Structure 1
């Protein structure tokens, strides 16, 4: 009945698919689930972050700092940038949407890679912007299904205003080295905004990778996005940030919702920055388990995409849907990839050693 009042861009919009209904699955389960579908940190946040949350509970009746000043100053010190170069978001998801709101539209297109994060196309659709997905690398490439930077450059035309690029990428886990990123940026017109999404940056140990934050000073059209949801273990508090030159940040600030990062999120994120040892220990454990789990899955004849994240994309072939369902009946929840055009794959978060052992035992029982 209300469809005729809905904006045309929204009518064709498909909402973000978070995967299985975890709340319903938890309520129906007889025991704790092995949750391996949302790339959450199984080791949890820093004790300092927990203490910061408790400390601020008596302030819940108060609005948070609308500027997020303390967190911005901590981030500026961490990354060697000015406070004016930082924008905070309700997770990096909000910033991805704001970038399209500010820079894209019916006559201002968006380009991303095939198999890129689902929010990129959603952000474009929400503002009625034409969206073009550049073909990913072939499956026989060493970075199978990863970004083809040449193809992305070729997809940019005179009507392109915004490019999204996840590095490392979700859901494939693949990555691009910093030299390739520099060459890529040099080929993008200076008036096309490039958003490099580094949500999984802390997990990378590939020597050729480096953060694009170091390139912001040379590229006025570049913004680099980060999140506290993954390595920092604060997914439930929704805190993200972007780093760019002040002019670009200023445009995003115009559409930023007031008090968009909550009181507890600001406090916990700042405290987590002050505990690099905790974050580093989680990253160290993730690397060990990522390599161990990938080797174990490959030894079982499965194709495992290369990954520098806290998850693995695994090809199960035509049995993927059946295996997904069978694992769930055993209390193990991966992420189906049909919505990404990869129906033969499941994305598996790197869990603890015990969680990964449980997964492997279940897979063996299904063979």
Structure 2
């Protein structure tokens, strides 16, 4: 990994999924009464981890379900210790541009650790060069994972990259054997298998286009996505989730993200995508 990304070993920390590294960041930098800034419709684990450490979460409105970086900057106070930007964002699939990130990073105060959660980074056609923030020694930690494009979610292996000063602190908070040997072997193989990653991206691009085209034909509102899922408005999300589950198709209800009318549908093989759409049409009567 150090060779691939042009960093030192001291700039990398492994986790039991990148989810664990979110917890390590909490152990490292949060105390009771501190604040964490996130977008309103961002990965719910950021808020859960803040609560675990007695910190307050400031959820910044995200018009169009896209991170409003200027508003997130304005939400920073002297008590703010961490700020999370998921790019592409889960569960909306939206992105913020390199230019917007650059403007943000130039203004963020030094007492804030910026966490760029890039779990879906490899699905982007032109991903932002966030590694430059690490090379510049900014207060930033990049989160990535083998759970998505490599398909190794069950092995639980993710990683963080940042300046050595920050990564050293994270190492002090983790268990010594948090990433097992089988997961590491799978990660090494997955990192090298570019053919598999390229094929996965191709299938995802084709499937996402198909799903979004079908949603459009059905007259359903959806958020154009850059990830391997699409957020779509279906009415009662919990009810649609349960009815689809009864028919053997699993989608994700979004009520916990304050989006009760929506579900998130992951891209599968074309056969799976077609079955999903047919099931959804039957349930919605379209």
Normalised-by-shorter TM-score class: over 0.9
Distance in 2 between the 1:115 and 1:187 partners? 23
Q: Helix, strand or coil for the counterpart of 2:65?
A: coil
Residue 97 of structure 1 aligns with which residue?
A: 23
Q: Is the 8 A contact 1:108 1:161 kept in 2?
A: yes
3-state SS, counterpart of residue 333 of structure 1: coil
Q: 2:35 aligns with which of 102, 109, 130?
A: 109
1:238 aligns to 2:238 (yes or no) = no
After superposition, residues 1-367 of structure 1 pair within 5 angstroms as: 75-137=1-63, 144-205=64-125, 207=126, 209-317=127-235, 319-366=236-283, 367=285
Indicate the SS of the match to 2:179: coil
Secondary structure of 2:58's aligned partner: strand
Task: Say whether the 8 Å CA contact 2:88–2:121 is kept in structure 1.
Answer: yes
Q: Distance in 2 between matches of 1:363 and 1:85?
A: 45
State the secondary structure of the residue aligned to 2:77. Answer: coil
**Structure 2 CA distance, aligned partners of 1:243 and 1:136?**
26
Is the contact made by 2:10 and 2:167 (CA closer than 8 Å) also made in structure 1? Answer: yes
Q: Which protein shows a greater Rg?
A: 1
Q: Aligned residue pairs: how many?
A: 284
Q: Where does the alignment leave 5 or more consecutive residues of structure 2 unmatched?
A: none
TM normalised by structure 1 equals 0.76
CA–CA separation in structure 1 for the residues paired with 2:266 and 2:107: 34
Larger relative contact order (C-alpha < 8 A, sep ≥ 6)?
A: 1
Normalization by structure 2: what TM-score?
A: 0.97
Kindly provide the CA deviation profile for residues 162-210 of structure 1, in whole angstroms up to 9, marking residues without a partner as x: 11110000001101111111111111102210000000001112x4x41
The CA deviation at 1:155 is 0.8
Calculate the aligned-residue CA RMSD, in Å. Answer: 1.1
1:285-311 C-alpha deviation (Å, 9 max, x unpaired):
101111111111111001110211000
Deviation (angstroms), 1:322: 2.6
* Contact in 1 for aligned 2:37/2:60 (Cα 8 Å): yes
- Once the 2 structures are TM-superposed, how far is the Cα of residue 218 of structure 1 from its aligned partner? 1.8
Residues 60-109 of structure 1: CA distance to partner in whole angstroms, max 9, x if unpaired? xxxxxxxxxxxxxxx11111111111011110000001111111111321
For the residues of structure 2 that align with 1:364 and 1:337, how far apart are their CA atoms?
A: 19
